[in-house]
Amino acid sequence: MRKLIQGLVLAAFAILNAGCDNKGRPIEEFGLDKLEKGISSESDVRMVMGKPETVWEDEDGTRALQYPKGPEGVRTWEFVIDKSGTLKDYKQLLTQESFARIKPGMTRDEVRRLLGKPRTVVQYKLKNEEAWDWRYQAGTDHRFFNVHFDITSGRVTQTSSQDANNNS
């Protein structure tokens, strides 16, 4: 009986540990543990993550590769590649900190750069409004972050958030 319990405990530990990286941290995205800031190259990132949905090129030669995991995913990853082609940093874009940076008057391109590709884009012509949304995770809950634009000016008018389970 003792061996059976030990076996069950080891099996449970193996299952729980399968979702952790080599330092015991929960894996946010499979493959991230294969990439090292300051060491991995852009081709390493592309080998692990695939073809980016968007590549932003800055004047200083830095490139940002964006990988939205939508429409049902809750993450958009951005990998920053320095001008020498080395992975400088990576981060998850769909966070409260990123959402707080979206302000009235911003352009569509500015929002797209900060949050990545939206899950959906819907126009409400009678209201002269276009709404973009991103699905994200807040704790254990899935939510939608919405950015509302004036269709004519293409500028942000407001933002809102709602529970993904109450999408009415």
What pLDDT digit, counting tens, does each position of 74-117 carry? 999 999 999 999 999 999 999 999 999 999 999 999 999 999 99
Could you tell me what percent of the chain has a pLDDT over 90?
A: 72
Domains and CATH numbers, the chain: 27-92 (3.30.1450.10), 96-166 (3.30.1450.10)
* Burial environment of residue 133 by CB neighbours within 10 A (0 to 12, 13 to 18, 19 or more): buried
- d(CA 101, CA 78) in angstroms, rounded, equals 16
Cα dihedral 62, 109, 67, 63, rounded to 10, equals: -10
- d(CA 45, CA 131) in angstroms, rounded, equals 32
Q: Which of 134, 140, 142, 141 minimizes the C-alpha distance to 159?
A: 134
* 14 pLDDT tier (thresholds 50, 70, 90): very low
pTM given for the model: 0.79
Under 8 Å between Cβ of 63 and 46: no
pLDDT over threshold 70, residue 166: no
Q: Which of 123, 119, 148 minimizes the C-alpha distance to 136?
A: 119
Under 8 Å between Cβ of 55 and 63: yes
